[in-house]
Structure 1
Amino acid sequence: MVSGDQPRSAAPAAPDDGLNRADIPLVKTWLHNRSSHTVRAYRADVAEFARFVAKPMADVVLEDLQAWHDSMSDASDSTRRRKLSAVKSLLTYGHKLDFLPHDAGMAFRLERGRDSLNERILTRPQVLAMIAGEADPRRHGLLALLYGTGVRLSEACTLRWRDMTRRQSGGIATVFGKGGKTRHVQVAASLWKELVALRVDDGPDAPVVPGHDGGPLHIRAAHRVVKRAAKRAGLAPDASAHWLRHAFASHQLDAGQNVHWVQAQLGHSSLATTTRYSHASADTVGADLLA
C-alpha cells in the first residue's frame, strides 16, 4: 500500500474511463512494460481523446486530431504537444499491429515549440526558500531529496532502503528510472543524515521518504507537497517537482561540476539534453547544494 498526507474522500476515476471497449486491449499492450508514471500519464491523455471523439480508435480520422488540438486552445503548447504525441504514438502502434486500418496521426504534424526551459529553472534562493518553509520533517526530506539529487518525483516515491548504500561521504542511491534504466545517484552527506532521521524501521523495504502512516508516499501526495511548498515561497503556480530537477542540473553546472557527472546523475541518454542547462568546467565531485 501507499499513503498520502491526507485522507481521500472519493475513489479516483477508473483508468479506462472514456475508452471504447474495443480499444482497451490495444491500450494495454501499448502501455505494457512502461513505468507506472508513464502508464498513468499516457492512459489519461488517450482516455481524454477518446471522450472527445466518442468513437473507437479504428474510426479516428485526421480531422478528429485537428479538432482536439483546436479544442485545447487554453492549454500550454507543451501540454498540447504531450497529449497529441501520446495519441499519435498509440495510433501508429495500433496500425503497425494491424489493430487499426490506418494511422490517422501520420499526417498530423506537431510543431516544435520554443525552448522555454529557462523559465522553469528556479534560482538557488528560491529553491532553498521552498525547502526552508516546510516544517514537517518528512515533507522537508522529500523536497531536499528532489533538489539534492535531481531524481524524478516517481523515483523518490519508490526508493527503499535496500536501494541505499552508505559511503564515507554520504551515500549512493540505486534508482530504477525512466525507460527501465538503473543508475547510481550520489547522495550528499547532509542529505543522507536527514533521510536516515526519517527512517521508520530497519527493514530493507522501508521507504526512504515515508508517508504519514509509515508506508510508501503516494506520488499524488508528493506532488501536493511540492505544490504547497512552491506556493508558500511565492513561486509560479505551475512550479512542479520537475522544476527542482531542472534546478539541480543548472545549479550543479553553475557550481562547476563535470557535465558527464550531471548527465549520469540525471540519467540522461544524450549529453545534449544535459548541456541545455549550462556549460560546465571540469570537476569530479558533486556539490552539496543543501549545505
Structure 2
Amino acid sequence: MQYLEFKISCKEPYREIMVAELAEIGFDSFLETDEGIDAYIQEDQLVRASYQEIIDRYQESASLKVREGKMAKVNWNEEWEKHYDPITVGDRVYVRASFHQARPEFKYEILINPKMSFGTGHHATTYLMISHQLNLDHQGKRVLDIGAGTGILAIMAQKLGAKEIEAFDIDEWCVENGDENFDLNGMSHVRMGKGTVREVNPKGEFDIVLANINKNVLLDEMEVYSALVKKGGHLLLSGFYVHDIADILKKANAYGMELVDEKSKDNWAALVMKKP
C-alpha cells in the first residue's frame, strides 16, 4: 500500500481547517508539525482536482507551501509516538496514548492509540463534544456514536456511566482502531460497526446520540438522527463551522429538535439538541 505524503506549511489558525478539508476528500492520516501538518492518502484514493481546489482556496489566506512525496510503508505507531502529545479537557479529562505516563489527578483518563484514524481529541470538534458530554448525565443511559473514528466519544460515554453503547464508522481502519481503543479502555464488550447510519440501521431509541462528522452528512442524515433520539433525549452535533450553525439548527428544528447548548473553539462549533 503506497501513500502520498504532503508536507503542508501554513498559518497556525488554518491547521485544523486543512485537516478537516483534506479528510473530506480521503486523506486518512495527519501529523502536526512545527510548520503545519503532514497529510497522507493512499495513492489510488487521491482525486487530484479536489485536492488542488482546496489548496487553491487557502493558498493566499493560509500562506500555504506544499512538498509532495511518496511513502511505500509507514510505521504509524512510530510516527504517532514522535508527534502525538496528550491533551486535557478542562481539569477532568486526560487523553493519552499508551506510551505516555498516567495522570491520576484527572477524574477521567482515556487511552487512544490513534494510528491513522481521525478523532484523537486534538481537533476542536472532538474537544467540544467531550466538553458537552461532561455536562450530560450518562449514568445508565443508552448511547449511540455515529462516525465514531477512534471511538473516543464512545469511550467518554463509558467513563461517564453509560449502560449500553453502540458505535460505528464508514472506514474499515476506524473499525479496527476503534476496537483496539475499546480494549485499551476496558470496553471489550463494545465492538465498532461499519457503515453509515442508514446501513447499520441501529434499533430502538437512544438517550444520547453523538454525531461528529461534517455539515453535509449531518444535514442529509438529520431525520434519521432525530428518530433515534428518545423523548427527553439529547443529540450532540459537531464537525461544522460557526457560520454553519444556522443551517444545522434549521434542519434539526424541522425534525422537532430544540437547541439547549452550544460551544465553539477555533471557529468550529458543537451543539446540544434535545427532543422535548
More strand by share: 2
Larger radius of gyration: 1
More helix by share: 1
Instruction: Choose between structure 1 and 2 for higher RCO, CA contacts under 8 A separated by at least 6 residues.
Output: 1
